[in-house]
Structure 1
Amino acid sequence: MQRRKEAVNYDGGSFRDPDGRVFLRDGRVYRGLSARGSEEWRALSQAAFFKQAVAAGRIVRSDERPAEAPWALVLEHERVPAVSYPYEWGFGMLQDAALLTLELQLAALADGFTLKDGTPYNVQFVGTRPVHIDVGSFERLKAGHVWAGYRQFCEQFLYPLMLRAYRGAPHAPWLRGRLDGVSAADAKRLLGLRAALKPGVFTHVHLQSRLQTGHEADSSDLRSELAAAGASPELVAASLSGLREVVAGLGWEPPASAWSDYGRGEHYSAGDLDKKDAFVREAAAGKRRLAWDLGANQGHYARALAESAETVLALDADASTHEHLYRTLKLEGPGRILPLSYDLADPSPDQGWAGAERTRLERRAKPDFVLALAVLHHLRLSAGVPTEELADWLKSLGAEAVVEFVAKDDPAAKRLLARKDDRYDDWTRAAFEAALAPRFETLRRAELSGGGRVLYHLRPKP
């Protein structure tokens, strides 16, 4: 057994498993396993369902590495291109991650295994493909065992999906505001009496709320009672199949919004569109590891970035726009674009235990190229972020960027200012360029028709 002397960079979200811990080294992802964890892994790695799921890309690929203290075994995992969280996913993404979890649990049960938990944090997306990344959450099935992760699945998957499907309420604020998700009692109150007859609500919400109220002091008592009642794997599988039908049957049709029908042709002549496309493609040419497209809309420029970037994060704050983009990208097949529902003015924070369990996007998916087309004026004129602070934030990303300045006399900017006083004296081309000058080298600049919109290709100064 080897002993490493350097400090171990443990992942801030992996501390709950007593039999393993994820750590990072030289840009690679490892998992240390205890003696018990290593025994479970060796049994799991030989299971037919597991081999099939890994081959299909549904479970992350893992390879054994030399053991090092204090671990009995070390695994190296294939690294996902970018880590995202369920409060950054739209309805379709959360639903697909839920279905993956249930389908893996059903396959595991048939092969004598089970999941310890039922959290969306065990799932990541590679493009639009969900992948289960926590091999330590599988264990061999014990006699009389029922799925210990059922409650967690309901709180972090099912209830948030029901809120959107049955009430039209966004799930992200609930998942971000409480990392453990929505309790059964809260789900019951939020869904209301009218929803009680909708598929799955009475069984998975009302009954669970009643059970949890009576057994909150020791939830293990409930599992013990169910196990003693003789819950066979077949009975558990039948219940899980019913739960899968409920999840698969949930639906949400994104309503039209100001941005869901916003095409890239708005406010541009055909000549300007061609000029803008050429500018972006020339600036983005060359190998990029990770690119961000801020305000991705229908994903035209994200697709352009994906021609050279290994991975593109397509960020958009509008829920309808994001949902349409995700559905479209799924139909196009496996790709390099990961669409996230993300508000730049209210971004995902560092939170959870010690502020490190879930981290902000810049820490877990730092870009080497950023595209900010027709988005910065929203942050200034709608969100009120000062121009100097916008420039500071862009510089902090440490990436080359293409940004677009939109003047206040542009129709799009006038719409933002229609119901407010214009107190944004620092939003002029001269002030914008003055803010960029000490922070970036301008590699190229291009004016679009009328001069109200200007493109900049920027490189951060040391």
Structure 2
Amino acid sequence: MMMDESRSQRDAASFRDPSGYVFRRDGRIFRAIDRDCHRILGELIDGGVLGRLIEQRLLVGTRPVDDPELLSTLRHEHPGYEHFVEHDLIEPITYPYEWSASMLADAALLTLDLQERLLEAGHSLKDATPYNVQFMGGRPVFIDVSSIERPARLDVWIALGQFGQMFTFPLLLHRHHGWDLRSYFVGSLGGRDLEQVSRSLGRLGRWRPRNLLDVTLPLLFHRRASRMTNDGRSRLERENPDPRAQLMNLRRLRTKVRALAHGYRPRSTWSDYTSTCSYADQSEAAKKAAVERYLRSIGPATVLDIGCNTGDYSRIAARCGARVVAADADHDAVELLHRRLRNESAAITPMVLDLSSPSPAIGYLNRERPSFLDRVGADCVLALALIHHLHVSGNLPLPAIRDLFAALTRRHVILEFVPPHDPMFRRLMTFRSTRHDDFTIEACRDAFATAFEVVDEQPIPDSPRTLMLLTKKA
């Protein structure tokens, strides 16, 4: 029987798990679960394990649906399922190809910590993928309760190979070979296999000590296992309730992941923008005061800070009561923002994102992982010290920038106009011959007039730049 979609909207990414699926209903997030998953969650609830994991912020808030009327309605809308849980709502959803290296590492550490806690209760995770993790206030939380099982064998982790493909390998390649996470994941949602990673490391690289336990030896074992007889495979599947060997390996992996993340030193140009830009202290203070005044006057519930750099203005927006998405194309800037959020949590979700080429819709039927534009929108867009980057580096004319902002905001844009004679504009023009004499604030007003009204303008003191508060036309 087909699901009744009159009220429930099934998550397009939630179809591979045979234990159930996620759906949205009336602005709330639910999960339909089968009898086995219901039984396992019941064990964890009765033993106090689930409550502790939620309290420790390892697991997203999860509650069984026990209201008789709602339960009856959900059973009618989801034929074949008798049991449901409700999760806390997390918005927006982000994916590992939009994370910095430390975000992926923190998701990996969360997965290892959760696996260790579950082992203590005789349970385990049956998969280990960053798509089961989201970020709230800069901190990771596990979202897939149907991934928990009670396995017969606890000395090895059935998801260890997937953990390598989805966490260890991309962190290794990023740290030591310069790979970016977008190139690793977008072309292969399930990560890269041992053979692919081994070839990327090269003949000598695969024998480096850092690669032996996680790439080279597993590859040799995998090749041998593929030639095993059924009798050999059956020996690998024998029951073993002793988790000590697995716990030792989990702790080794935790040390390795931490070292890979902590050893990375951000060094890009824009990650140090605040110390290299042309602002005087007085100009920066005036700009911050004006932005905060605009935000408090319009009171947005959600803000998208595009070109956020290391997040100073995202924090102002969060301080004004908004839930903020902070996006920047520069990995290292987002890396520094995430590291700061570890110690100073705020309602900010960082993302590594090139706005001129945002994350596409990918996966099964191009619906499994929706595009950035389908997932992220806001009451207000902050576009500070950004328009010249989009115009020069992104080669976007003013009408295209206007249309982009109109697609991203529901109501307002706080725009900083940067003219061609600004020092940072001239810096972008190094080794470029194109002239931008027509890139003026008057041209900006004219281009934006078809979609926005200018509510206010304020020159930034001791700077050629101008702040503009724009309201989207109905």
Q: Is TM (by shorter chain) over 0.5?
A: yes
1:341 aligns with 2:341: no
User: Aligned partners of 1:187, 1:76: CA distance in 2, in Å?
Assistant: 39
SS at match of 2:303: strand
Aligned partner of 2:17 in structure 1 is 17
Q: Distance in 1 between matches of 2:455 and 2:229?
A: 61
Q: Which moved more, 1:207-216 or 1:159-168?
A: 207-216
d(CA) in 2 for partners of 1:223, 1:131: 35
**Corresponding residue SS for 1:442:** strand
SS in 1 for 2:301: strand
2:295 maps to 284
RMSD: 2.6
Q: Conserved in 2, the CA contact under 8 Å of 1:57 and 1:131? A: yes
Check conservation: 2:152, 2:240, Cα contact below 8 A.
no
Is this contact kept in 2: 1:265–1:273, CA < 8 A?
no
Corresponding residue for 1:112?
122
Q: CA deviation at 1:142?
A: 2.1
> 2:377 aligned with 1:353, yes or no?
no
Verify: 1:432 aligned to 2:439, yes or no.
Answer: no
- 169-178 or 158-167, which deviates more: 169-178
Distance between the aligned counterparts of 1:219 and 1:431, measured in 2? 73
Counterpart-to-counterpart distance in 2, 1:392 and 1:126 = 30
Q: Give per-residue Cα distances to partners, 1:310-369, cap 9 Å, x unaligned.
A: 42122122122222222122122x221222222112211111111111112232232111
User: Residue type matched to 2:432 in 1?
Assistant: K
Distance in 2 separating the partners of 1:229 and 1:195: 36
Q: Is the 8 A contact 1:292 1:315 kept in 2?
A: yes
Does 1:411 pair with 2:399? no
Within-5 A mapping of 1:275-354: 275-285=286-296, 287-332=299-344, 334-354=345-365
- Give the alignment of 1:36-435 within 5 angstroms: 36-65=36-65, 66=71, 67-68=74-75, 69-70=78-79, 71-143=81-153, 146-196=156-206, 198=208, 200-213=210-223, 224-228=234-238, 230=240, 232-250=242-260, 251-263=262-274, 266-285=277-296, 287-332=299-344, 334-397=345-408, 398-422=410-434, 424=436, 427-435=439-447
Question: Runs of 5+ in structure 1 lacking a partner?
Answer: none
Q: Assess, with a 3 A threshold, how the Cα gap between structure 1 residues 231 and 171 changes in structure 2: closer, same or farther.
A: farther
Cα deviation 1:135-192 (Å, max 9, x = unaligned): 1100122246742211111101010011122333323311122111121112212223
Shift of 1:231: 7.6
Give the Cα–Cα distance (whole angstroms) in 2 for the partners of residues 7 and 81 of structure 1.
Answer: 20
Question: How high is the sequence identity, in percent, across the aligned residues?
Answer: 34
Structure 1 residue 32 displacement after superposition: 0.8
Q: CA deviation at 1:202?
A: 1.1
1:10: Cα distance to partner? 0.9
Determine helix, strand or coil for the equivalent of 2:256. helix
Q: Is the 8 A contact 2:418 2:425 kept in 1?
A: yes
**1:74–1:221: structure 2 CA closer, same or farther, 3 Å change rule?**
farther
What letter corresponds to residue 295 of structure 1 in structure 2? G
Q: 1:47 and 1:202 mapped to 2: Cα distance?
A: 39
Q: 1:451 to 1:60 in 2, by over 3 A?
A: closer
- In the TM superposition, residue 101 of structure 1 has moved relative to its aligned partner by 0.3
Could you say if the C-alpha distance between residues 352 and 152 of structure 1 is closer, same or farther in structure 2, counting changes exceeding 3 Å? same
- Out of 445-454 and 29-38, give the one that drifted further: 445-454
Contact 1:88–1:342 (Cα < 8 Å) also in 2: yes
Q: Which stretch shifts more, 268-277 or 254-263?
A: 268-277
Moved more, 314-323 or 99-108: 314-323
Equivalenced residues, count: 459
Query: Partner of 1:177: helix, strand, or coil?
Result: coil
Residue 287 of structure 1, CA deviation? 4.1
> What secondary structure is seen at the aligned counterpart in 1 of 2:374?
helix
Unaligned residue ranges in structure 2 (runs of 5+):
66-70
Question: CA–CA distance in 1 between the matches of 2:6 and 2:208?
Answer: 55
How many angstroms does 1:38 deviate by? 1.9
For normalisation by structure 2, the TM-score amounts to 0.90
Structure 2 contact 388–418 (Cα < 8 Å) conserved:
yes
Any conservation in 2 of the 1:44–1:138 contact (CA below 8 Å)? no
